[in-house]
Amino acid sequence: MQGRDIILGILERNSRTGYEINDILKNQLSYFYDGTYGMIYPTLRKLEKEGKITKKQIVQKDKPNKNEYSITNAGEEEFKKYLDSTIQDDIYKSDFLMRLFFGTSLSNQEIKEAIEQEIARKNEKIDKLTQNYKKWKKNGMSKTQEITVKYGITQYTAIVQMLNKELEKLQKNEMEEL
């Protein structure tokens, strides 16, 4: 999946401004796609140049003008090809897991603190997704979008459950060593 596929997907249902695209990337897709603000505008320019999207300038009174982007037939065809292509394996990057993997020199206390911090981060993500899910559901979301949100909540919940079990083991081992 490339940034262009994501932007075409965002524009598939509605025309959007760059600001709205960024908002969707940050708030609706961030738990399974790491899109950056710096990727948006170069990709929009390239897609426009290729005829995959169009740009319409909206004149605003007492505000800077804004650009609204819409997908073209050529863009819809490209996006359909992406949806029909073979699904690639997920690429997962985790600073927490990398540090834990190489953390053989960490004390039990440092390991516990790292796990507790990760549990707190994941619980924040669960809370945010759950709150957003309620809001998005009220505003209307497709069945497939609903599945992705439930997937994220379930994944984070399973991670928290597993980390809590590992934390209990560490605490039990400390008690046995006393």
In angstroms, the CA 122 to CA 127 distance is 9
Evaluate whether 131 touches 149 at the Cβ level (below 8 Å).
no
**In 106-140, which positions are buried (b, 16+ CB within 10 angstroms) versus exposed (e)?**
eeeeebbebbeebbeebeebbebbeeebeebeeee
What's the pLDDT score for residue 177? Answer: 62
pLDDT mean across residues, the chain: 91
Rounding to the nearest 10 degrees, give the CA dihedral for residues 26, 41, 11, 141.
10
Q: What is the pTM of this model?
A: 0.78
Q: Report helix, strand or coil for 133.
A: helix
Helix (H) or strand (E) holding 96: helix 95-101
Render pLDDT for 116-164 as a digit per residue (tens, 0 to 9). Answer: 999 999 999 999 999 989 988 888 888 999 999 999 999 999 999 999 9
Render pLDDT for 92-118 as a digit per residue (tens, 0 to 9). Answer: 889 999 999 999 899 889 999 999 999
In angstroms, the CA 86 to CA 63 distance is 44
In angstroms, the CA 163 to CA 156 distance is 11
CB atoms within 10 A of CB 59: 8
In angstroms, the CA 119 to CA 70 distance is 40
What's the pLDDT score for residue 165? Answer: 96
Render pLDDT for 41-98 as a digit per residue (tens, 0 to 9). Answer: 999 999 999 999 999 999 989 998 999 999 999 999 999 999 999 999 988 889 999 9
Answer whether residue 176 shows pLDDT above 70.
no
- Cα angle, residue 132 at apex, residues 157 and 137 outer, rounded to 5°: 110
At 35, phi and psi to the nearest 5? -90, 145
What's the pLDDT score for residue 140? Answer: 84
